[in-house]
Amino acid sequence: MAEAFKFELVSPERLLVSQSVESVVIPGAEGEMTVMANHAPVMTTVKPGVVTVKAAAGGEERYVVFGGFADILPSGCTLLAESAVAVRDIDRADLARRIQEAREDVADARDDRARTKAEQFLAQLTTLEGAILPA
């Protein structure tokens, strides 16, 4: 059994998770990273994706996050998400709305930089949709 550490997942609306866990997989801006107890200190931005939480008591939960950042210390990890929801509570219509808004942002982009950023976000959302929702 792996050593446990404190993990908190916070969104502007509420505290979703505050528990002792064995590991957390975070969709970091530079790629997915697995956080375990005694992890080297690091702060990373979080891209839209799925956070997988393996509880110390057993079981696994998955949460969808739409950006934010994670503060990782040897004793724990706090993920402050722009928006977060448990995968089991995902609303297909809400995700479709977010994708449509991202498509509109691409179409409305005023310059190449804004268009590229909007296209990246749209790509992340469509990848996320494919990863968590069956067709």
pTM: 0.77
- pLDDT tens profile 14-37: 999 999 999 999 999 889 999 999
CATH class of 5-87: mainly beta
Cβ atoms of 105 and 117 within 8 Å: the answer is no
Give me 60's structure tokens.
């696994």
Cβ-based neighbour number of residue 104 at 10 Å: 12
- pLDDT tens profile 79-97: 999 988 888 887 788 888 9
